[in-house]
């Protein structure tokens, strides 16, 4: 069994990005800029935004967080997005999800300029991903693909089961795997017999948000297991969706939580923002 070390790989990616930022600054006089919209007081959202801001600082990006109260109006957020769309210092716009109930999330995601949509949630970029065209790809599934690639794991022809079918994790994950010629099955809360699918899989990727959803008897010997879930257990410890201690010995490769997919997500956000900035620099 080998650990897929997302923490180590993300550090390498950050080092490369920081050096590319220096090159961009010398050539154009500007650095990549990321704007984050954070609504309300959700501690998990605030923690994620804090980690993203620190990562921006480490690689030399400019970043700004627009913190808004829980009862903010739709119009106020829309105005901020419209301003960021035209702000030349901003290359990437990220709306931290989930948003409060009164907010129409889809409308906001559709308002972000597709060329600044570094989270890859705009339907334009979603469509480009499903048709196999270049565009911005959601950071978490993109990070998983980078991690597999770094360990020379080729998914072509592999039987792959994705557990979880959300727009930000499961669906784009499945599209990327399909584009890389894997045979993909997507499962979710309504799947009748989850274990029947996972047991046959060469690769199991799980992002459901359920502690210990994947147990040792659900995974075949030698499988690759990617744990995208982030949960807090009753001791307050960060854990994934996989019963790691019992599943790991059966696998050929497995991601830990923390230190697996999480750091890769942030590295991909930086990579997408640098890409947006490089494209903008060429337009100027
Ligand atoms: P979500 O609630 O939007 O979607 C969860 C998906 O899992 C749904 O499709 C649901 O049908 C499925 N599901 C739930 N319970 C299930 C069960 N018992 N059996 C089979 N399928 C089940 O959540 P999300 O935003 O996609 O996030 C999923 C998990 O991934 C969460 O733990 C979240 O914290 C984590 N996450 C991690 C990162 C990262 O950087 N590592 C990024 C985003 C989300």
For 235-260, write each residue's pLDDT tens digit: 999 999 999 999 999 999 999 999 99
Q: For residue 143, which atom of ligand 1 is closest to its CA?
A: 40
* 6 located within any domain: no
The reply to whether 225 and 147 lie within a common domain is: yes
**Residue 234 domain-assigned?**
yes
Distances from the Cα of 74 to the Cα of 84, 109, 120, 154, 225, angstroms = 16, 12, 21, 44, 40
Residues with catalytic roles: 52, 96, 119
Same domain, 153 and 107: no
Give yes or no for residue 218 CB within 6 A of ligand 1.
no
CATH number at residue 148: 3.40.50.720
DSSP lists the bridge partners of residue 93 as 35
Q: What is the pLDDT of residue 76?
A: 98
Q: Which strand (E) or helix (H) includes residue 107?
A: helix 105-111
60 is in which domain, residue-wise? 29-113
Residue 22 lies in a domain: no
Q: 241 C-alpha to center of ligand 1: Å?
A: 9
- Tokens 């060429």, residue? 282
129 lines ligand 1 (CB under 6 A): no
CA-190 nearest atom, ligand 1? 11
Mean pLDDT over the full length of the chain:
97
CA 231 to chain centre: 16
Best residue among 168, 207, 215, 255 to mutate for probing ligand 1's pocket (most ligand atoms within 8 Å of CB) is 207
106: helix, strand or coil: helix
Is the pLDDT confidence value at 284 over 80? Answer: no
Same domain, 152 and 239: yes
Give yes or no: residues 98 and 172 share one domain: no
Q: Which atom of ligand 1 is nearest to the CA of 209?
A: 32
| Domain assignment of residue 125, yes or no | no
Average confidence (pLDDT) over 184-207: 98
DSSP β-ladder status, 224-227 and 231-232: unpaired
pLDDT tens sequence across 126-138: 999 999 999 999 9
The pLDDT tens digits for 260-275 are: 999 999 999 999 999 9
- Average pLDDT on 57-73 reads 98
Name the β-bridge partners of 33: 62
- Strand order from edge to edge, sheet including 159-163: 2-3, 253-254, 224-227, 203-206, 159-163, 183-187
- Average pLDDT on 49-78 reads 98
Atom of ligand 1 nearest to the CA of 169: 26
Q: How confident is the model at residue 282 (pLDDT cuts 50, 70, 90)?
A: confident
**Best mutation site among 96, 164, 174, 190 for ligand 1 pocket (most ligand atoms within 8 Å of CB):** 164
Q: Does 5 fall in a domain?
A: no
Query: Which residue's CA is minimally distant from atom 8 of ligand 1?
Result: 164
Asked if residue 80 has pLDDT above 80, the reply is: yes
Domain membership of residue 131 (yes or no) is no
Same-domain status, 256 and 207: yes
The pLDDT tens digits of the residues spanning 106-151 come to 999 999 999 999 999 999 999 999 999 999 999 999 999 999 999 9
Which residue has a Cα nearest atom 32 of ligand 1?
A: 209
Q: Residue 87 C-alpha to ligand 1 middle, in angstroms?
A: 33
Question: Are residues 109 and 170 located together in one domain of the fold?
Answer: no
Answering whether pTM is above 0.75, one says: yes
- pLDDT category at 283 given cuts 50, 70, 90 is confident
Q: What is the pLDDT of residue 19?
A: 98
- Using CB atoms within 10 A of its CB, is residue 201 exposed (0-12), middle (13-18) or buried (19+)? buried
Provide DSSP, 196-253: HHHTT-SEEEE-S--TT-B-GGGS-TT-EEEE---EE-TTS-EE-SB-HHHHGGG-SE
């Amino acid at each position: 069994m080998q650990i897929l070390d997302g923490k180590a790989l993300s550090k390498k990616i950050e080092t490369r990005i920081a050096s590319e930022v220096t090159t961009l600054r010398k050539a154009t006089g500007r650095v990549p800029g990321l704007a984050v919209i954070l609504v309300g007081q959700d501690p998990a959202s605030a923690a994620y935004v804090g980690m993203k801001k620190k990562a921006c600082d480490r690689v030399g990006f400019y970043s700004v967080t627009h913190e808004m109260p829980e009862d903010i109006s739709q119009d106020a957020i829309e105005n901020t997005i419209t301003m960021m769309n035209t702000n030349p210092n901003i290359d990437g716009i990220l709306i931290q999800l989930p948003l409060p109930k009164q907010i129409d999330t889809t409308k906001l995601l559709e308002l972000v300029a597709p060329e600044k949509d570094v989270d890859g949630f705009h339907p334009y970029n979603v469509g480009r991903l499903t048709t196999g065209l270049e565009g911005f790809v959601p950071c978490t599934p993109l990070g998983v693909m980078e991690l597999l690639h770094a360990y020379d794991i080729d998914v072509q022809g592999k039987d792959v089961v994705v557990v979880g079918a959300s727009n930000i994790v499961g669906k784009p994950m499945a599209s990327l795997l399909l584009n890389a010629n894997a045979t993909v099955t997507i499962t979710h809360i309504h799947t009748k017999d989850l274990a029947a699918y996972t047991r046959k899989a060469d690769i199991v990727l799980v992002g459901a948000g359920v502690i210990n959803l994947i147990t040792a008897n659900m995974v075949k010997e030698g499988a690759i297991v990617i744990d995208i879930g982030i949960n807090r257990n009753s001791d307050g410890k960060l854990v994934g969706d996989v019963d790691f201690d019992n599943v790991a010995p059966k696998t050929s490769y497995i991601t830990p939580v923390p230190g697996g997919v999480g750091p890769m997500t942030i590295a991909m956000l930086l990579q997408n923002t640098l890409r947006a900035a490089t494209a903008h620099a060429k337009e100027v």
